[in-house]
Amino acid sequence: MHTYCTLSGVYAAAITPLKSDFSLDLEALPLFLDFLAKRGCHGALLLGTTGEGPSFAANERISFFRAGLEVRQAHPGFHLLAGTGTPSLPETIALTHAAFDMGFDGVVVLPPYYYRKASDDGLFTWFSHVISGAVPENGALLGYHIPAVSGVGLSLDLISHLKERFPTRFAGLKDSSGDPEHARQLGARFGKELLVFTGHDRLLTFALENGASGCITALANLFSPDLRCIWDAYQNGKLEPEAQNRMEARRVIMDGYPPIPAFIKAGVTHLAGFPRWPVRPPLLNLPTDVEQQAMDEIYHAHEFISHRPIFS
């Protein structure tokens, strides 16, 4: 069985702990990953969009990846994915190579997002060089489809071409389009041959029904038990509509308070007691009054009322 066949499940698109001067808080990262592991996450993506990945230099990313490995001392089966995509081909190759050398299970790679009119042939050539130059035979590369942010989508034909050329090393896709039709098309065209993770909490059940293998989402930082409940139930041939409805409601609230990294960092402070980590400019923290309103809304909305605490 290829390594990536074991990677299905619930992943947090992990936030990045920062100090007050916006430098990486490397000591805090293993503690936060331990929190995620204990709350049902199968793994985490480091330095994705929610983790503010493009805001960090290559040497910072490598230090951060290395710090994240400490979680395996307590949770040896916790899967780690590295966000390694940059507009620079050599830098992307170097970061990807470093992640696999450290023992990461896979990488999630943005397309080169500066050239927004790059052709499928150009993107195929770019990804081919990354895979050939940095992904080992037992490694897994996931393309990162988030066109609303990156400005560069990964077409179904491009995905098919990469899968044909690199049938094991091009493992699949993180689909953060938020488009149910795109999720359906992925399932119809590739079935279980492609490892697909939805990046949108409200689509987890739908994506699973269309062949997806799990999710990598921002709200998994806060509400992974519900996501895990949905995933576990589906593995047993069941659905969890109440948990899915709660995730959809939470997603609506979160989307009303951008930027998402600032919202999630506020959430892990207010709802889980972690330090108040800032976001790195150009992102800004939520204004104090807006942050309090957002936290009140997500905490007190009737969908979340329970006889047990949200965090235990």
Reported as a single tens digit per residue, the pLDDT across 109-134 is: 999 999 999 999 999 999 999 999 99
Instruction: Considering the candidates 11, 96, 113, 174, report the single residue annotated as catalytic.
Output: 174
Instruction: Considering the candidates 4, 11, 49, 163, report the single residue annotated as catalytic.
Output: 49
Q: What is the dihedral of CA 304, 218, 31, 74, to 10 degrees?
A: 90
In a domain, 118, yes or no: yes
DSSP state, residue 257 = S
Residue 174 bears catalytic tag:
yes
What CATH number should be reported for the domain holding residue 90? 3.20.20.70
In a domain, 300, yes or no: no
What digits encode the pLDDT tens for the residues 68-117?
Answer: 999 999 999 999 999 999 999 999 999 999 999 999 999 999 999 999 99
Quote the number of domains for the chain: 1
Give me the residue label for tokens 């609506």: 252
Instruction: Considering the candidates 6, 38, 114, 192, report the single residue annotated as catalytic.
Output: 114
In a domain, 181, yes or no: yes
- Position 307 scores a pLDDT of 32
Residue 117 bears catalytic tag:
no
Residue 49 bears catalytic tag:
yes
Residue 144 bears catalytic tag:
yes
- Position 299 scores a pLDDT of 83
Q: Is 45 helix (H, G, I), strand (E, B) or coil?
A: strand
Answer whether 98's CB lies under 8 Å from 60's CB: no
Answer whether 236's CB lies under 8 Å from 221's CB: no
Radius of gyration of the chain from its Cα atoms, rounded to whole angstroms? 18
Cis before 282? omega within 30:
yes
In a domain, 248, yes or no: no
In a domain, 105, yes or no: yes
Q: Which helix H or strand E contains 31, and what residues bound it?
A: helix 28-38
In a domain, 184, yes or no: yes
How far lies 49's CA from each of 14, 80, 109, 140, 146, in Å? 9, 15, 11, 19, 9
For residues 156 and 4, the model is more confident at: 156
Domain enclosing residue 53, as ranges: 3-238
In a domain, 224, yes or no: yes
What digits encode the pLDDT tens for the residues 178-219?
Answer: 999 999 999 999 999 999 999 999 999 999 999 999 999 999
In a domain, 246, yes or no: no
- pTM value surpassing 0.75: yes
